[in-house]
Amino acid sequence: MTLIPDRYVVMGNPIAHSKSPHIHTLFAQQTQQIMTYEAHWVAERGLFQAIKHFQEEGGRGLNITLPFKTDAWQLAQQRSSRAENAGAVNTLWFDSQGQWVGDNTDGVGLLRDITVNYQRTLADKSLLILGAGGAVRGVLGILLAQQLGRCVIANRTVEKAQLLADLFKNYGTVEAMRYEDLTGQKFDLIINGTSASLQGELPPLPPHLFSANGWAYDMMYGALPTAFMQWALQQGAARALDGLGMLVEQAAESFYLWRGVRPQTEPVMIQLRQEMRAKITQQALELAPEFGGPVGLNPVRYGDWEKAGRCIDF
């Protein structure tokens, strides 16, 4: 008797870049789950119909990526506390009554990468978060729950940072600052929640922000160190990490919510890292210099950026 695989998808626009189908296929093989996982492109304003059609066809669950996370939050008929805090939904499934249940696994993905994969405790630590957009809101609640010693959100416009600080004031004290206000301060962990790394850029940060044994974490990821990671190491950070582990861990949390089985993430992260680096090596051999310039740690032109493999899928 042939069993019909359960169907899962990720919906977004654009979606061709998504690593989620590959990640969840590896999880399914590892845990012997009978399921499929595909990427679905969704037209602007087409999310409701896409989810409804997927449900009517017998789909079991789905991930939501940019630019539809807030739309999914509005469409979910039930939401977890994580989704409520984040103001966004990246994981959906259908309950026994057919209702759409929404959760957000970004925060727990970040936390597990830092505290489980890298064994870094956050209790009593001073934390600086760069940026005040949706990516930061999605992780702020679970970070504050770690009994931080101090939490600062820095943004170009302090008013936007203050809005987040006010929103999460019941979870802990959060200070809002402009980047220039950071001069002379020290932090045990600095998390880059801006998208600047996607353009090979940095927020306008003052020097000497890391305390002794301070760490840096970029929520973006790539086969090569991001601009933020390079800056952090130059500034004396003891360690600089990118967000590949966050990507895999948030996917593992979604997989667990759907299947009740928690996959091992380390072998998947190792495989993805190897595949990204191999792709860069191959592209560097194939691409003429006039189309992209030399491959280095500071990609500044479009061809270099593509070869560096940086992308985001949270």
Q: Identify whether 291 is part of a domain.
A: no
pTM here is 0.89
In the chain, the percentage of residues whose pLDDT exceeds 90 is 84
Quick check: bond before 67 cis, omega within 30? yes
Residues at the annotated binding site for NADP(+)?
Answer: 131-135, 155-160, 219, 243
Tens of pLDDT along 13-52? Answer: 999 989 999 999 999 999 999 999 999 999 999 999 999 9
In whole angstroms, what is the distance from residue 64 CA to residue 10 CA? 6
- Cβ atoms within 10 Å of 231's Cβ, excluding its own: 21
Residues at the annotated binding site?
Answer: 18-20, 65, 90, 106, 131-135, 155-160, 219, 221, 243, 250
DSSP letter (8 states) at residue 113: I
CATH code at position 81: 3.40.50.10860
Q: Identify whether 275 is part of a domain.
A: no
- Residues annotated as catalytic are 69
Can you tell me which residue has the tokens 């090569």? 224
Are 117 and 208 within one domain?
yes
Examine the pLDDT at 92 and tell me if it is beyond 90: yes
Residue where a domain stops, chosen among 214, 244, 274: 244
Please name which of 129, 171, 182 lies closest in space to residue 152, comparing C-alpha atoms.
129
Range of the domain at 93: 6-104
Domain total of the chain: 2
Amino acid, single-letter form, for residue 129: I
Average pLDDT, the chain: 90
Q: Identify whether 74 is part of a domain.
A: yes
- Cβ atoms within 10 Å of 34's Cβ, excluding its own: 10
pLDDT at 2: 74
Q: Identify whether 280 is part of a domain.
A: no
pLDDT at 285: 59
CATH code at position 223: 3.40.50.720
Q: Identify whether 126 is part of a domain.
A: yes
Q: Nearest 5°: CA angle at 275, between 273 and 278?
A: 110
Examine the pLDDT at 309 and tell me if it is beyond 50: no
Q: Identify whether 250 is part of a domain.
A: no
Are 153 and 58 within one domain?
no
In whole angstroms, what is the distance from residue 300 CA to residue 173 CA? 38
Q: Identify whether 150 is part of a domain.
A: yes
Residue where a domain stops, chosen among 80, 104, 128: 104
Are 38 and 113 within one domain?
no
Residue where a domain stops, chosen among 104, 131, 149: 104
Rounded mean pLDDT, 63-89: 97
Tens of pLDDT along 104-152? Answer: 999 999 999 999 999 999 999 999 999 999 999 999 999 999 999 999 9
Are 95 and 195 within one domain?
no
Are 64 and 49 within one domain?
yes
Which residues, at least 6 apart from 56, have a Cβ–Cβ distance to it below 8 Å? none
Q: Kindly list the distances between the CA atom of residue 66 and the CA atoms of 186, 190, 277, 299, in Å, as whole numbers in the listed order.
A: 33, 24, 25, 24
In the chain, the percentage of residues whose pLDDT exceeds 70 is 89
Are 238 and 116 within one domain?
yes
Q: Identify whether 1 is part of a domain.
A: no
Examine the pLDDT at 262 and tell me if it is beyond 70: yes
Are 83 and 192 within one domain?
no
Amino acid, single-letter form, for residue 167: L
Are 117 and 227 within one domain?
yes
- Residue 265 near residue 117, CB atoms below 8 Å: yes
**Complete DSSP assignment for 167-201:** HTTTTS--EEE-GGGGTT--EEEEEE-SSGGGGT-
In whole angstroms, what is the distance from residue 250 CA to residue 78 CA? 20
Residues at the annotated binding site for shikimate?
Answer: 18-20, 65, 90, 106, 221, 250
